[in-house]
Chains A and B, each alone.
Chain A
Amino acid sequence: MALDFLIQLLVNGFIIGLLYGVVAMAFVLIYKSSLVVNFAQGEFLLIGAWACWWLLAKFSLPFYLAFIFTLVFMTIFGILIQLIILRPLIGEPIISIIMVTIGLSIFFQALMNWMFGVFVEPFPKIFSTESVNLLGLEVQTVYIMSGLISLLIMISFAIFFKKSRLGLAMRATAFDQQAAQSLGVSVKQVFSAAWGISAIVSAVAGIVFGIVNGISSGIAFMGIKVFPAVILGGLDSVLGAILGGLVIGLLEHFAHYLDVQYLNVGNMIRIAPFYVLLIILMIKPYGFFGTKDIERV
């Protein structure tokens, strides 16, 4: 029984971990291209989730339509945030920019509470079957969907950065801003794109979290929770973000297992990632995949 429980938890951890990976990727995308640490990442999830819920609950749109509208809205939202709030701050000290993103976080958190209330709202039902039996394990349908969506996002990211014109420009900007400019890359365009894409990806993650647990300001906590994932992988590595997310997801569910079985302290699932964060910062402050400079001597 205990083993079954462990496996069940690890499967859940893996899928949630993928989702953490996706959010961490959205975070790294902004950090890598514009060196902004976005503390409002969690609010992007929250806004995305609420927007989708609103379209579903108030207008009774079919899910796929609501989903698409939400993504369009979030793209515009992300780009506007960059244009209006962050662009004037280019060249300002990093601490001011961080304070601004914290401010944004508080502002949107309050705005969402004001608009949609402080209580948990369940998502309207999307799948007819609650859970399916996968190799003897009961896995919620939303979890499967979430895993698939996460993988899809990751693969499209990989292709985007390898093949597309904008993807290459973003990598170049992240590596060497001035060199990118000398090639005709418009850095402003790259920054806007980074925020737009990051907002879309966050919104997807937010919607999935919302479907799993219902929407409340708790979703915004994910924005803080990806920090251990991001730090573990290295702040500026997309691959590291994904792996970091997976590790954190698995780890917190394993901690939960230990907690339930032996420790009985409760809440380990929330706290464990931050213990990990502390330990990583002590032994490997740049994470496992942080900047490695290629240098010829």
Chain B
Amino acid sequence: MLELKNIEVVYNEVVLVIKGLSLEVKEGEIVSLLGANGAGKSTTLKAVSGLLKNEDGEVTKGNIRFLDEEITNSNPSEIVKSGLFQVMEGRRCIADMTVLENLRLGAHTRRDRKNINDDIEKVLNYFPRLKERNGLSGYLSGGEQQMLAIGRALMAKPKIILMDEPSMGLSPLLVKEVFGIIKKLNEELGITILLVEQNARLALNVSNRAYIMENGKIVLEGSSKVLANNEDVKEFYLGGSKGERKSFKNLKSYKRRKRWL
């Protein structure tokens, strides 16, 4: 469904951030993209959704195809119209609009304006707690804002949603709730999801397949179950592998081991 082939992303015409990355998301899957800070996960998502231009970035090599159409460096509004929607890192709700206005804004690219009110109703049924919020969305809690951001994405009726760190800044309970919602969207509405996360354990739990990124490249890929049992992944992302504690003596070798390449 979504296919990235060997893409390279350059910021400000000099800074090479993504160095030949390929990945594929098939219809109906949840795929997670994991990696440390600064590995280039968010950049990858922005490259797909066309938001790089705002930050003076550009896909210089390779191509991105969505539903068998080339979308490399297209306009974000065209991309949203074609059914690919990104929920950006940090929610990015329009703080001086109400919940309903935010939801209606999500339907911006839709042609069937008549059905929008019905769809708002449907989305609110997914997130019942948003129903009671009549004030500006800027005053919602972090979890509610995340739900609003996801709800807003649903309003555009996308085929695939790219989610950038939905767990950011949320309490553990809310993180669980949000991940439950993600799973539900995938199962009930058949929406394909590409998930970028720091919380590797939860992401591997919820996804079918996963990619692990480092320094702008994919270093590992496979089904989530296999990756969750991979010794390296356990050590670097899930914390602790064989149960023995690391001493400072081994710290150097640990650092060296951290890089696959």
Contacts and interface: CB of A to CB of B under 8 A. Distances in A.
Interface of A: 162, 165, 168-169, 171-172, 175-186, 293-296
A177 B55 CA distance: 11
Contacts of A169: 105, 108
Contacts of A295: 138
Interface residues of B, number: 35
18 contacts: A171-B97, A172-B94, A172-B97, A175-B97, A178-B54, A178-B88, A178-B92, A179-B93, A179-B94, A181-B51, A182-B49, A183-B105, A183-B152, A183-B156, A184-B76, A184-B109, A185-B108, A296-B138
A214 B77 CA distance: 46
Contacts of A178: 51, 54-55, 88, 92
Interface of B: 49-51, 54-55, 75-77, 79-81, 85-88, 92-97, 101, 104-106, 108-109, 113, 136, 138-139, 141-142, 152, 156
Nearest to B79: A184
Contacts of B50: 181
A182 B92 contact: yes
Contacts, number: 81
B142 A296 contact: yes
7 smallest CB-CB distances across A and B, nearest first, come from A184-B80, A294-B138, A179-B92, A184-B109, A186-B77, A181-B76, A294-B95
A225 B142 CA distance: 43
Nearest to A295: B138
A296 to B, nearest CB: 7
B80 A183 contact: yes
B162 to A, nearest CB: 10
A281 B142 CA distance: 36
B96 A171 contact: yes
A183 B108 contact: yes
Contact of A181 (B54, B138, B142): B54
Given A181-B76, A183-B106, 8 more contacts: A168-B97, A172-B105, A178-B51, A179-B92, A182-B86, A183-B109, A184-B109, A295-B138
Contact of A296 (B49, B51, B94, B141): B141
Contacts of A186: 75, 77
B48 to A, nearest CB: 11
Given A183-B106, A296-B139, A296-B141, A168 B96 contact: no
A179 B88 contact: yes
Given A177-B54, A184-B156, A185-B77, A294 B139 contact: yes
